[in-house]
Amino acid sequence: MASAIDSPGVCKCPLGPRTLAAVLVRSSYDPVRGPGESDGRRYRWIVLYGRDTETAALADRVAAAEAGRGSSLVVRGEAGIGKSSLAAVAAEAAHGFTVLRCTGVESEHAWSFAGLGALLLPLAGHLEGIPEHHACVLSRLLGLAPAPDKAAPPGDFRFTVGLATLSLLAEAAATRPVLAVVDDAHWLDPDSAAVLLFVAKRLAAEPVAMILTVREGYAPDFPTPGLDEMRLGPLDADAAGALLSGRLNGLSHASRSRLLNSAEGNPLALLELPAIEPETRLAADWTGTRSTTSRLKQVFGDRIDRLPEAARTLLLLIAADETADPGLVLDAAAKLGAQLTDLAPAEADDLVRYQGGRFAFGHPLIRTAAYQGAPVFRRLEAHRILADVLEPDDHRRPFHLAAAATGPDEEVAAALEASAECASTCGGHNVEYAVFERAASFTPEGPERGRRLLRAAEAAASAGNGPKAWALCAEIGQSTNDRAVHARATLIAAMVAGWRNDVREAYRLYMEAADHYTAAQPEAAGYPLFRAVELAWQAGDFSRAEVAAEHAERLDIEHSPWVRDLAKATAGFHRSCAVTVTEAVAALRSLIDIHVGFGAAVTPENRAMVAWWQTLIGDIDAAEATASENVRAARRTGAAGALPRSLVLNGITEFHRGRWRDAEAMAADAMDLSTELGQPIGLVKARAYILAPIAALRGQEADVHDLVEAARAASPPETAVTIDTALALLDFSLGRNEEALDRLMGHLESNAPGDALAFVPVAVEAAARTGEHARIADAFAWYTEWAEAGGQAHLAALVERSRGLLADEADAGAHYRRAAELHKAAEGHPFETARTDLVYGEWLRRARRVNEAKTRLRSAAAVFERLGAEPWTERVRRELRAAGDAGPIEAAPDLADRLTPQELQVVRLAAAGLSNREIGEQLYLSPRTAGYHLYKAYPKLGVASRTDLAKLGL
């Protein structure tokens, strides 16, 4: 591969040739010195006192990685506590490893993928071994290929880059194990941080270990949910004393005591505080309540203050742009009357050093002290000079211009906007919104400020940062009167409200967006009005859906009929007297046909909506096909934001088809992704629509209540229907028929039963067993009309079973027999088929047709046993005993029950013919991890190859 620096076609986004050289140096690992070696600086590396337990734990991680068990660890602690030294010990122990290292730098916080580029650049030679699209993404981010002509494709780019990074690390680890050390991770740019956390959570079967060090206190928060953490506390008295004895001999007893007391077990403080003069200050100033970090900053500040002015100037320039190469620093210094020789006193005091072709501070706090200790006018001057000497197209120049500005400045704002546009071409949405927001802050009042805030909000939404997008949209409302800008901003706010599962607020905002579009671009008002109807449906409020439909009709735009059809469906599915459920089903069919006709042009969000509509009309097979294709498409295109909803919908269809283990696996995946994306709606729906109903049918009362409470805590009131139906299923499964009927009828007797429709057959059976037939009559008539409009055999079977339950004893058998025939024709709904076999078997036993009863009951028992629906299995056992059959229940083995949710997903994809690499891309895993899960699954399934898997019918 050609040198990135010498290639004439290399782009300057994100890394230009000059800055790429700095990254090449910064990403190379500095070999760790042994205990007896010194590099001539103030203290030696690397004997650690009092850290035996921690070093042993890191050594275990390194050994595990060498054995092919990857992992990650976050090391937290205050400044100077020894985090980097501990990581260096791990690197020293990693014999035969490829050791990668990068350091988060505060000045690079707005440089998209800077940290990731520094970490991965040494692996550029492995790019040819990973999938081409992954290599293209990383080549672009590393500055090894030209930037694209247009922005990155839609979707969550963090997942695309994360999977490419995982692929590259796995490829490199196939040759030698890899240890990745990320120092000062709290200063990583947000895009690099997001990708590295994505990767850290997925290191399993790769010989890769990752260590991230994070400062606590006086640094940005760096949450790492789901990762193992190690917190470094102060050294104990013995270790602190040993450190002093080993490094600083000759201290008087009084000085030693004062130093140990003042340093409070912080190793760096123990080494640096003796530099303070006179000793009386050590006793007076350093025993109060000030933090160790602030003490050390003052120590370093005092040392800097003693330097000549020219040396302080050079340190300020290095601190103002730590990524600068020496040429840049010296060019700027020359304009301020300083030169390289003026840095000698700072080097002698070990404040700064020239290492590997660049300047570097001895500790991050030295940089902070050098920068913050300078007067404001000197800091502004330093940034202005650095901007002057940088090339016009250098990505750092806008940030120096901004740092030198003292008020609104259109030139600065325009330069920052250009930089944000550059970040967007590589999908760096986290940096993009931060830079656009900063550009807006330098924009004078007027329409340009609102436009830039809008771009920031759109980028924040693309990055999945709902709170930031929400705050920016609120600011837009105060910055411009442009109705088109207000419309777009309100759409973003509505989407964020939907992520939060705040259905009513999302509806209000979509209607507000439609009002803005009506004034500015009437043809564009159709989309927010359509979404408003969808939200009204979720809220169970037909009147609001009607308001949106009437608005669309008044506008008389192209999409007005769509809005009306969805409003009609809303009315019919909520028992409006104006619209029948037959008309509602017909309206949904029309919308489904329209959207299906768009083919590949349908977005993942709209395809998910189609799957939901197909579920509502009872076409579970079509819904399953649409939802599963949407999951595949969302993973393929990187549209991770659409995945939680798509996975939930796919899980619901699997639940109805009796593949409960698959449904649970999809729910677990949806919940993990929702947590990672910050979308509470996925957590709520996975619990309420999948996990709670399955646990209810299995009679797992404690689990149901835990799931319901978790869903209720994060849900708006309109989800009460779904939560109550799960509780009703539990009551029904445990034989509490009256309680089940009361819960369901509380919604079915209202004007907006919504999601309770599908559970009418449960209410019918509960009513039949409590003798309250009349109470269910209206709801059953409504359900029957819906089932006939849907035209699905499995729904017709449920209608016949319900008729049998409500009929006289003499007439019931014919209905049950017809229901069983319809189930056989429908296939794919084993639980409901088993329920029909159960009630039919009970009727046959009462009719003294015992042998036929046993056949039906045993068929039902086998399904219930396979699904783990213990209350239902026990109910069949009682009925069999009453029929004189006390033999054991023999269920066909459910192979899926033998596998973990992750193994099940991998096995299904492998059985469908996908390679490990393709499986990894579908499930956001490395190929090696996909293979690892297959290796674990084979013996559980009693097979030895993919060919055998295909024969299992999985």
The pLDDT of residue 8: 28
371 and 262 within one domain: no
- Summarised one tens digit per residue, pLDDT across range 200-236 is 999 988 899 999 999 987 788 899 988 999 999 998 8
Confidence band, pLDDT 50/70/90 cuts, at residue 322: low
Considering the domain boundaries, does residue 512 fall inside one?
Answer: no
The secondary structure element, H or E, covering residue 516 is: helix 503-520
Which residue type, as a one-letter code, is found at position 23? Answer: V
Cβ-based neighbours of 733, under 8 Å, separated by 6 or more: 696, 697, 698, 699, 869, 871, 872
- Under DSSP, the state recorded for 946 is H
Which residue type, as a one-letter code, is found at position 8? Answer: P
321 and 270 within one domain: no
The pLDDT of residue 719: 65
Considering the domain boundaries, does residue 219 fall inside one?
Answer: yes
The pLDDT of residue 16: 36
- Summarised one tens digit per residue, pLDDT across range 455-471 is 999 888 877 778 889 99
324: pLDDT strictly greater than 80: no
Tell me the longest C-alpha to C-alpha distance in the chain.
109
180 and 80 within one domain: yes
- What pairing do the DSSP bridges indicate for beta strands 358-361 and 208-215? unpaired
Considering the domain boundaries, does residue 944 fall inside one?
Answer: yes
Does 478 or 630 have the greater pLDDT score? 630
The pLDDT of residue 11: 35
Nearest CA among 462, 411, 474 for reference residue 434: 462
Phi-psi category of residue 223: left, alpha or beta, with phi > 0 → left and psi -120 to 50 → alpha: beta
227 and 90 within one domain: yes
Task: Tell me the average pLDDT across 603-622.
Answer: 89
| Structural contact between residues 529 and 510, judged by C-beta atoms closer than 8 angstroms | yes
Cis peptide before 620 (omega within 30 of 0): no
CA angle, residues 84, 89, 93, in degrees to nearest 5 = 145
Give me the percent of the chain exceeding a pLDDT of 90: 44
The pLDDT of residue 239: 87
- Summarised one tens digit per residue, pLDDT across range 656-684 is 988 899 999 999 999 988 888 777 878 88
The pLDDT of residue 283: 45
222 and 80 within one domain: yes
| Structural tokens at position 740 | 């089940």
213 and 98 within one domain: yes
Nearest CA among 483, 472, 476 for reference residue 513: 483
Nearest CA among 439, 547, 563, 509 for reference residue 110: 439
The pLDDT of residue 353: 85
Does 65 or 148 have the greater pLDDT score? 65
| Structural tokens at position 882 | 């009453």
What is the rounded CA–CA span in Å between residue 420 and residue 431? 7
The secondary structure element, H or E, covering residue 785 is: helix 773-790
CA distances from 40 to 91, 245, 296, 364, 498 (A): 21, 19, 22, 19, 59
- What pairing do the DSSP bridges indicate for beta strands 358-361 and 228-231? unpaired
Phi-psi category of residue 177: left, alpha or beta, with phi > 0 → left and psi -120 to 50 → alpha: beta
Locate the DSSP E strands across 98-251.
Answer: 98-103, 178-183, 208-215, 228-231
Q: Given 3-state DSSP classes, what are the helix, strand and coil percentages for the chain, each rounded to the nearest 5?
A: 70, 5, 30
Backbone angles phi, psi at 361, to 5 degrees: -80, 150
CA distances from 880 to 240, 300, 352 (A): 75, 84, 85
Instruction: Tell me the whole-structure pTM to 2 decimals.
Output: 0.78
Which residue type, as a one-letter code, is found at position 79? Answer: A
384 and 270 within one domain: no
Q: DSSP characters for 249-291?
A: TT--HHHHHHHHHHHTT-HHHHHHGGGSSSHHHHHHHSSSS--
Considering the domain boundaries, does residue 122 fall inside one?
Answer: yes
- Summarised one tens digit per residue, pLDDT across range 888-946 is 777 666 677 788 888 888 888 888 888 888 888 888 888 888 888 888 888 888 888 88
66 and 23 within one domain: yes
The pLDDT of residue 32: 31
20: pLDDT strictly greater than 70: no
242 and 154 within one domain: no
5: pLDDT strictly greater than 70: no
Query: For the chain, what is the total number of helices (H) and then of strands (E)?
Result: 48, 7
Distance in Å from the first CA to the final CA of the chain: 44
The pLDDT of residue 109: 66
Task: Tell me the average pLDDT across 614-622.
Answer: 93
360 three-state secondary structure: strand
78: pLDDT strictly greater than 70: yes
What is the rounded CA–CA span in Å between residue 764 and residue 732? 11
141 and 45 within one domain: yes
The pLDDT of residue 426: 59
Considering the domain boundaries, does residue 626 fall inside one?
Answer: no
589: pLDDT strictly greater than 70: yes
Q: CATH number for the domain including 941?
A: 1.10.10.10
Listed ranges 397-411, 501-515, 761-775; the one with the highest mean pLDDT: 761-775
Q: For helices 466-476 and 447-462, what crossing angle results, to 10°?
A: 160
82 and 146 within one domain: yes
What is the rounded CA–CA span in Å between residue 434 and residue 462? 12
- What pairing do the DSSP bridges indicate for beta strands 358-361 and 71-77? unpaired
The pLDDT of residue 788: 96
**b vs e for 538-564, b when ≥16 Cβ sit within 10 Å of the residue's Cβ?**
bbbbbebbbbbbebbeebebebbbbbb
72 three-state secondary structure: strand
The dihedral sign for the CA sequence 679, 685, 686, 692: positive
| Structural tokens at position 402 | 């901004």
Cβ-based neighbours of 869, under 8 Å, separated by 6 or more: 697, 698, 699, 733, 831
**b vs e for 336-355, b when ≥16 Cβ sit within 10 Å of the residue's Cβ?**
bebeeebbeebeebbbbbee
The pLDDT of residue 30: 33
Give the position of tokens 């949407």. 630
200 and 59 within one domain: yes
What is the rounded CA–CA span in Å between residue 192 and residue 161? 9
Confidence band, pLDDT 50/70/90 cuts, at residue 12: very low
The pLDDT of residue 357: 74
Q: Please report how many Cα atoms fall inside a 13 Å half-sphere around the Cα of residue 789, on the Cβ side.
A: 22
Task: Tell me the average pLDDT across 365-390.
Answer: 90
What is the rounded CA–CA span in Å between residue 169 and residue 398? 33
Nearest CA among 771, 770, 774, 744 for reference residue 758: 744
- Summarised one tens digit per residue, pLDDT across range 266-297 is 888 887 776 554 444 444 444 455 677 777 88
Domain that holds residue 37: 17-231
Which residue type, as a one-letter code, is found at position 28? Answer: S
The pLDDT of residue 45: 42
Locate the DSSP E strands across 67-196.
Answer: 71-77, 98-103, 178-183
Last residue of a domain, one of 288, 312, 328: 288
The pLDDT of residue 290: 63
Considering the domain boundaries, does residue 297 fall inside one?
Answer: no
Residue 93 CB coordination number (10 Å): 17
**What is the number of domains present in the chain?**
4
Which of 424-433, 801-810, 817-826, 921-930 shows the lowest mean pLDDT across its residues? 424-433
Phi-psi category of residue 678: left, alpha or beta, with phi > 0 → left and psi -120 to 50 → alpha: left
Give me the percent of the chain exceeding a pLDDT of 70: 87
The pLDDT of residue 19: 34
What is the rounded CA–CA span in Å between residue 152 and residue 143? 15
Q: CATH number for the domain including 23?
A: 3.40.50.300
Nearest CA among 842, 709, 863, 678 for reference residue 768: 842
| Structural contact between residues 193 and 108, judged by C-beta atoms closer than 8 angstroms | no
- Supply the mean pLDDT for the chain: 84
The pLDDT of residue 587: 94
| Structural contact between residues 895 and 908, judged by C-beta atoms closer than 8 angstroms | no
CA 308 to chain centre: 50
Nearest CA among 878, 870, 818, 813 for reference residue 839: 813
- Under DSSP, the state recorded for 687 is I
Considering the domain boundaries, does residue 731 fall inside one?
Answer: no
Q: Residues 329-336: contacts with CB within 8 Å, 24+ apart?
A: 329/359, 331/389, 332/382, 332/385, 332/386, 332/388, 332/389, 335/385, 335/388, 335/389, 336/381, 336/382, 336/385
723: pLDDT strictly greater than 90: no
Confidence band, pLDDT 50/70/90 cuts, at residue 145: low
The pLDDT of residue 613: 93
Considering the domain boundaries, does residue 749 fall inside one?
Answer: no
